[in-house]
Amino acid sequence: MSLKFRLNLLITLLSIAFILVVGSILVRDTRDSIRERVEAASRVTVQLLDTVIVSSALNPEYGPTHKVLENFLQSLGYVRSSHIVLKDMRNDVIYESPESTYKNNIEPPDWFVNLVEPKAETVERKIRYGTLIVTSSAAGSIREAWSGFRQLMWVGLGFFVLLNVLVYALLRHSLRPIGHILKSINKIEKGDLNTRLPAFKLPEFDRIGHSLNRMAESLSAERQLEENRQLTQIIQSHIEDERRSLARELHDELGQYVTAIKTFAVAIVNKTKEKSPDIASNAQTIVGAANQIYDGMHDIIRKLRPGALDNLGLSETLRDAINHLQKQHPAIMFTLNLQGELDLLGETMNINIYRIVQEAINNALKHAKASKIEVTLNHHQVNHSLYLSIMDNGVGMNIDHVDQSQHFGLLGIRERVQGFHGSFNVVSETKVGTVIEITIPTV
């Protein structure tokens, strides 16, 4: 059942209820009016006839009372709201007043007569040589009342029809925007986020249209953002594959060459250290350089792709990374807190968590001037979430004056976290330190 039909039905029912209430009031007033009119007319008629009876009794020369009354009634004719019957001593009708001819062509329906007709009252007077019977009659008043009531009914019916036609036309015109709104909602539901609603004249529909347009814009932006996140994940995945491949190439190819150079140089040192010390010294320099190249290559490989991540899991990889950093920066105290099952998170989650920790620590080493860096990683299996925090006691920063979109380290961390539909928050205070808080759902 459409809204337009419901509203039109509601208006119709209210109109019918109003007409019924007004009709009942009119019927009640009409019934009271007819009753009072008939009662008043009957009293006047009885008083008049009583006067004639008394006058006849006081003046016997006028003749018998029933004859006087008969003559009087014949001259009187129709008496409104009263039916008069005069009978002789044998109970034969001498005189009966004629019926009213007022609006005689109108025939009120029985239901109206039953609603407004008052109870008939009869007054009987015993006179000499006869009986006078006066009965109240509301027939003329009822026909008169029905004539006006019928006209009012036709006016009310016309008004009722006109009102419903106008209401239907008004609702059809006013609710026309609903069709456009529903079509737009269906298009948005089917994925067409470019749908926009025009401005409407009614302020309520106009606000709905603006809200729906803003919602479509937000959904479009959210879809674009989700597509960008998916693209970022694909790019990061390809980058990790390239890093893995490059690390493997460095380890297999360059490592073999460096090892060969070192082997040859050691052999030269062994053969020439007695006969040609100069050559042995140069060869030893080559051995040292080969060792430096080998160590530097392993640092690069560790940064490109930590081998422990594929072989030992996330926990051991983080421990190895923290131990290596501790050796490189002995002045800084590194702390690693691991809780929960962390080795069953999957390769994608593992490498992203590792990169986040790596990037956050690099930022702290470059900018924080910290003496303490603490990493906490906790897998809440009950809440199915992974909590990660990287805290330092460095110089801190004023977050309100920092444009995080221009800090590519924070931006990269945020993108990785949002790619897993997680939450990312940075809390920092000048001269106190910085805390990066990350929560990622694991379901």
One DSSP character per residue, 57-111 reads: HH-GGG--HHHHHHHHHHHH---TTEEEEEEETT--EEEEPPPP-TTTT----HH
Sequence ranges of the domains in the chain: 3-173, 181-242, 315-443
pLDDT in tens, 86-136: 888 888 888 888 877 767 778 888 888 888 888 888 888 888 778 889 888
Helices (H) and strands (E) in the chain, counts: 12, 9
d(CA 162, CA 292): 100
Q: Which pair of tokens denotes residue 17?
A: 């209820």
Q: Which pair of tokens denotes residue 214?
A: 């803003």
Measured in residues, the chain has a length of 443
pTM (2 d.p.) = 0.49
pLDDT in tens, 258-273: 788 888 888 888 888 7
Tokens 């029933």 sit on residue: 66
Find all residues with CB under 8 Å of 179, minimum gap 6, and list them.
none
Report the percent of the chain where pLDDT is more than 70: 94
What is the CATH T-level fold of the domain 315-443, as seen in this structure?
A: Heat Shock Protein 90 (3.30.565)
Question: Averaged over 58-65, what is the pLDDT?
Answer: 80
Q: What are phi and psi for residue 333, nearest 5 degrees?
A: -95, 115
What is the CATH T-level fold of the domain 3-173, as seen in this structure?
A: Beta-Lactamase (3.30.450)
Kindly report the average pLDDT of the chain as a whole number.
Answer: 83
pLDDT in tens, 270-301: 888 777 788 878 888 888 888 888 778 777 77
